[in-house]
Amino acid sequence: MQNNIFSGLFVGQNLVTIKEVDSTNTFLKTLLSNSKPLPEGTVIMAESQYAGRGQQQNKWHSEPGKNLTFSILLTPTFLPVLNQFDLTRVVSLGVFDALQPYLGDKLKIKWPNDIYYEDRKLGGILIETHLQGSQIKNAIIGIGLNINQESFLPGAGNAISLKQILHRDYDLRTILSEICGHIEAYYLNLKAGKFLFVRDTYLSRLYWLNQQKRFKANDAVFEGIIRNVKDEGLLVVEDNNGQQEFSLKQIEFLNK
């Protein structure tokens, strides 16, 4: 389905909207396996998603019709598997740049790919890549953002919405269009080989960068300072013992 609100070259030009689905990522995967090839940039947007997934099997709860729950299909065959974290950077930056005009300097990217406003979670991203040999065949990018929801269940943790921050409703398709445009721009930069630009920009937007904060790793609480993110995505935290590198499941931010 064409939608003129999307001004980019390909991301969002094929937009499929559905009323209710378990997960837009799952729906897109099923579509890929059951039909003729889908064009790169296809977006699946759901009004209601009742089994959304976050990182490490976390559930994503969303009030029907109030938030953005969508998935994007990309085919980054140009990207070496070792550099697939650059896709996480591209998507996080695209979402960040779309929301930053609304929210200003309090908006940050919490490593690896959560969208934060101050110490509250505005949204999350789940990227599922499918490999073919040493190539990335395709990537299904699920994005959930709290836009117009006014309250959250106790189990939603530190969730916050755009409406709770700015006290007004926002048009979901307008924000979706802005996100798709910014993701496409960063993706094309990556495709043009501008890895350093993407990596430096991502680092500059990082939550807790160069600040002394509390973390938990190996069942021990410690104070450290985020100094860098390695090319392959490892988080570099400096403490009294020097610099340590962590993967996603190895470290917890104690920001509650």
HSE-CB of 202 using CA atoms within 13 angstroms:
31
Residue with tokens 């990522």: 25
Distance (Å, rounded) from C-alpha 155 to C-alpha 158? 9
Assigned domain for 6 exists: no
Q: Exposed, middle or buried: residue 73 (CB in 10 Å: 0-12, 13-18, 19+)?
A: buried
Q: Exposed, middle or buried: residue 225 (CB in 10 Å: 0-12, 13-18, 19+)?
A: middle
* pLDDT at position 56 over 80: no
Mention every residue, 6+ apart, whose C-beta is less than 8 A from residue 132: none
Assigned domain for 3 exists: no
- Indicate if 57 and 95 belong to the same structural domain: yes
- Indicate if 217 and 184 belong to the same structural domain: no
- Indicate if 43 and 148 belong to the same structural domain: yes
CATH of the domain at 220: 2.30.30
- Indicate if 175 and 235 belong to the same structural domain: no
- Indicate if 167 and 237 belong to the same structural domain: no
Amino acid, single-letter form, for residue 77: T
- Indicate if 31 and 68 belong to the same structural domain: yes
State pLDDT tens for residues 198-239.
999 999 999 999 999 999 999 999 999 999 999 999 999 999
Domain range for 227 is 212-253
The total number of structural domains that make up the chain: 2
Assigned domain for 112 exists: yes
State pLDDT tens for residues 18-27.
999 999 999 9
- Indicate if 185 and 116 belong to the same structural domain: yes
Query: Whole-model pTM?
Result: 0.93
Residue with tokens 């013992």: 241
